[in-house]
Amino acid sequence: MKSVLCFGDSNTYGLKPDGSGRFDKTERWTGVLSEMLGHQNYEVIEEGLVGRTTVFEDSTRQGRNGSKLLPILLESHGPVDTVVVMLGTNDCKAVYNASPKLIARGAEILLRQIRDNNSAAKILLLSPIHLGDAVWKEEFDPEFDEKSVITSKELKAVFAKLAEEFDCMFLAASDVAKPSETDQEHLDEKGHLALANAIYKKLVAA
């Protein structure tokens, strides 16, 4: 059986846009992907965490720095055949004031950690969905600002270049899904299904 480790933030965890909790396993993209790949042939390992970043520390929540946890997960679940990485949204928060290139540097650290753990593992790097144009407003998520929206839209190009440098698979989640109008930030059920379909096609073609 092949293993697929899905490492991401709240859009991998499956946080509902209306704040009412988490989508069921059959609704979030990781669960849909698991059904598509087939339980007898693939084990899809869900490792999504609300607020997770590539390398930045969250002063209000512990364990959000992805680079500090990924090596542990790779070891505890290893050997992992494929790693799907989708991070970068939380790196766009105003408090980090990070440029797209700096966020890509954070993603690069994660890719190096995967290669150091298992050079034979396949990697699918995703640039995240865009933030909604109004996400920074008080009624949505004021941890972001107007610059955050612009930065989120610039991640596709720098992540695509990074994937090319590391000779790994790439998918822009923003090409197939968008944030819910409800919170301008998270995938709805339709978005989860679309993303699962796109990831499935990438993995089966690899």
- Tell me the residue type at 190: K
Positive or negative, the CA dihedral 135, 170, 156, 72 is: positive
DSSP state letters, 149-183: HHHHHHHHHHHHHHHHHTT-EEEEGGGT----TTT
Identify the pLDDT of residue 40.
78
At 135, give phi and psi (nearest 5°). Answer: -60, -30
Q: Return left, alpha or beta for 112; rule: phi > 0 is left, psi -120 to 50 is alpha, else beta.
A: alpha
Quick: pLDDT tens for 115-136: 999 999 999 999 999 999 999 9
Identify the pLDDT of residue 39.
77
**Does the reported pTM lie above 0.85?**
yes
- Please state which architecture CATH assigns to domain 2-205: 3-Layer(aba) Sandwich (3.40)
Confidence of residue 205 (pLDDT cuts 50, 70, 90): confident
E runs forming strands in 1-60:
2-8, 42-48
